[in-house]
């Protein structure tokens, strides 16, 4: 009887990313933003066009796996990873994202600017895995309509996550979160040691520009639910 054998090899891939503005003497914040499942960075980055162009530089990497959203033609979306060969996917993802940041001339460990990490939906887990694997602590973490990855232990990385300013954001009509008790979810985040701010808005599974503006204008440690 013949048996199949699994083999792996590293290959070169051409990834793409999009940026808004540039780093200059007035730059205060560097944003690294991660799109959700089935989205493209080209369009996701448009959610950040209202940011002050002199003070904010935005980097939006795109997942390496692209596919047709519906059928075999038409609109295309991207994904960060699946459950298949996930450990290899995570490490390839980390290497790719490190290359993107390096190509933008940013070194999060040494950069004097405030580093703000935002993940939307599937991008939340991607964002957290990346900066944890890299070993740096962002200035602000925004988890928008997504979960903290189960394979990352904040207690094992306490220098990164202890009292990390974190904003958990979701729409009250988000169909993907209807079965989740969001107050319990927020309590879980706080038990991880995060300095949590919980934000809600009237809407579904979307990025909401007015809500993003509120978060940008706050960055306070208050624990109360905001709306």
| Residues 56-115 pLDDT 10s | 999 999 999 997 998 888 999 999 988 888 888 889 999 999 999 999 999 888 778 899
Residue 222 placed within a domain: no
| Residues near 215 by beta carbon (within 8 Å), at least 6 away in sequence | 142, 167, 169, 197, 199
Per the structure, the complete domain to which residue 87 belongs is given by 17-216
| Residues near 21 by beta carbon (within 8 Å), at least 6 away in sequence | 27, 51, 53, 54, 56, 57, 58
pTM of the model: 0.92
Q: What angle do CA 15, 17, 18 make, to 5 degrees?
A: 160
Top-confidence range, 8-17, 24-33, 178-187: 24-33
Residue 3 placed within a domain: no
Give the number of other Cβ atoms within 10 Å of residue 200's Cβ: 16
- Average pLDDT of the residues in 21-42: 93
Residue 12 placed within a domain: no
* DSSP secondary structure of 46-105: GGGTTS-TTTEEEEEE--SEEEESSTTSS-EEEES--STTHHHHHHHHHHHHHHHHHHTT
Residue 2 placed within a domain: no
Residue 63 placed within a domain: yes
Residue 1 placed within a domain: no
| Residues 206-217 pLDDT 10s | 999 999 999 998
CA dist., res. 154 & res. 214, Å (int): 27
Residue 75 placed within a domain: yes
| Residues 106-133 pLDDT 10s | 988 877 889 999 999 999 999 999 999 9
Residue 99 belongs to domain with CATH number: 3.40.50.1820
The pair of three-digit structure tokens given for residue 181, joined into one six-digit string: 């008790």
CA dist., res. 148 & res. 162, Å (int): 15
Secondary element (H or E) of residue 180: none
Mean pLDDT of the chain: 90
How many domains, in total, are found in the chain? 1
């Amino acid at each position: 009887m013949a048996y199949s054998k699994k083999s792996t090899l590293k290959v070169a891939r051409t990834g793409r990313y999009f940026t808004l503005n540039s780093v200059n003497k007035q730059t205060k914040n560097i944003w690294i933003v991660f799109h959700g499942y089935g989205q493209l960075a080209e369009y996701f980055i448009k959610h950040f066009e209202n940011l002050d162009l002199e003070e904010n530089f935005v980097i939006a990497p795109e997942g390496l796996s692209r596919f047709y959203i519906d059928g075999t033609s038409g609109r295309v979306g991207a994904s960060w990873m699946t459950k298949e060969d996930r450990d290899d996917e995570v490490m390839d993802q980390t290497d790719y994202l490190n290359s993107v940041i390096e190509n933008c001339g940013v070194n999060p460990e040494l950069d004097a600017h405030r580093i703000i990490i935002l993940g939307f939906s599937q991008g939340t887990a991607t964002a957290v895995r990346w900066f944890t694997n890299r070993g740096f602590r962002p200035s602000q973490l925004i988890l928008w309509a997504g979960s903290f990855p189960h394979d990352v232990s904040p207690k094992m990385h306490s220098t990164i996550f202890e009292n990390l300013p974190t904003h958990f954001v979701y729409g009250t009509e988000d169909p993907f979160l209807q079965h989740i008790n969001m107050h319990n979810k927020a309590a879980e985040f706080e038990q991880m040691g995060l300095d949590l701010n919980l934000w809600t808005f009237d809407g579904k599974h979307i990025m909401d520009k007015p809500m993003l503006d509120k978060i940008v204008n706050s960055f306070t440690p208050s624990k109360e639910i905001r709306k």
